[in-house]
Amino acid sequence: MRTQVGIIGAGPAGLMLARLLKLQGVDSIIIENRSEEYIYNRIRAGLIEHWAADLLVDVGVGERMQREGLRHWGINIGINGELHRLDFKALVNKRVTIYGQQEVVKDLVARRRADGGPLLFEVDGVTVHDVKTDRPKISFTHEGRAEVIECDFIAGCDGFHGIARPSVPDGVLSVFEREYPFGWLGILSESPPPDHELIYSYTDRGFALYTMRSPTLARLYLQCDPDEDIENWPDARVWDELHKRLGGARKLEEGAMLQKGITPMRSFVVEPMQYGRLFLAGDSAHIVPPTGAKGMNLAFADVMFMSRAIEKFYTKNSGDLLESYSATCLRRIWKAQRFSWWMTQIMHRFPAESAFDRRRQFSDLDYLTSSETAARSLAEQYVGLPLD
């Protein structure tokens, strides 16, 4: 097989990159080790920044999102049951859109199929070769046959557990990470959310987040121990704790739990995000705590920068944007990491916190909910910083 860009991973990053390249007249092949059914059922956060929602529309995959997505012009900050709404329209005149990541993936796959570009699922034994040359290769097995993709560039969009990042030799990448002393117990409930916008709730009992997938499906989270056994959280206990952490500020209707699981919290970045002609994007290069809702949005930003660099290489015979790809992405990534860390530390109870820490945390929350300047800073980062 021969193509211009070989893409490893059919998540939001890889699929969006393929679409951007198609619009630029650049050929690509996507390979994915999971099945098509698996990626459609891989539930992830679905908060899309203002610019990213516009991007989906601009590249021709936003029609269903515009019809089914929920536009939010603010969020609620709860402090022991007292809610404070931050009005994004008044503060920055931008919004976010709630639309499940798996739905974005479905739309991008449909677009890829319409474009006629190769998209191979359930590949095995993926390895990359010759990435320091101008003819890198991807080897794999598909439907029992050994295959090789010869290309000009390789995009590693295969997530935190993929093969792209480990393919970089030892000593090249620097790792920056932080593991948090708590996780999120998340449920998907067949019930209406307690508010039409998200509620971030700080309480003495711990953090809770009240969000949604649709007007009839609630996505709800509780701060818990990172190594908690899900069996210790029967449905009745989950609902009881969700009620307590909402504190009566809104009515919380109960419904059938369709999903339940515990997710650990971490921050992770590798530098640089490129090695020869292998470029990393999305979760293969960085992970953020979900408090700031930046994961998919950062992945889209990465591939926007990558596609611009590749286009300039082919149209202008210039590699300057390719050379600066990592530095360009990391400027945005570290701002998102800082914001996600800040949102996480301001809203959660930490097991080793002192009385001083708690007083400082209350002061942070008081300042956020009483100062227009502080609220505008949060709103600007939450809806998405400018791409350029």
- Specify whether 294 is catalytic: yes
- Specify whether 200 is catalytic: yes
CA–chain centroid gap for 104, Å, is 12
Q: In this predicted structure, what is the pLDDT of residue 388?
A: 74
Per DSSP, the three-state class of 176 is strand
Instruction: List the one residue out of 53, 7, 12 whose CA is nearest residue 26.
Output: 7
State in Å, rounded, how far the first CA of the chain is from the last one.
Answer: 35
Q: Which one from 200, 202, 210, 275 is the annotated catalytic residue?
A: 200
Q: In this predicted structure, what is the pLDDT of residue 145?
A: 97
Radius of gyration of the chain (CA): 21
Q: Which one from 22, 50, 294, 348 is the annotated catalytic residue?
A: 294
Q: Which one from 221, 275, 325, 382 is the annotated catalytic residue?
A: 382
- Specify whether 290 is catalytic: yes
Q: In this predicted structure, what is the pLDDT of residue 387?
A: 87
Q: Which one from 22, 72, 286, 348 is the annotated catalytic residue?
A: 72
Q: Which one from 286, 290, 325, 348 is the annotated catalytic residue?
A: 290
CA–CA distance, 380 with 193 (Å, rounded to integer): 25
pLDDT < 70 stretches in the chain: 43, 45
CA–CA distance, 112 with 109 (Å, rounded to integer): 5
Q: Which domains does the chain have, with CATH numbers?
A: 5-60+100-176+267-343 (3.50.50.60)
Q: In this predicted structure, what is the pLDDT of residue 41?
A: 84
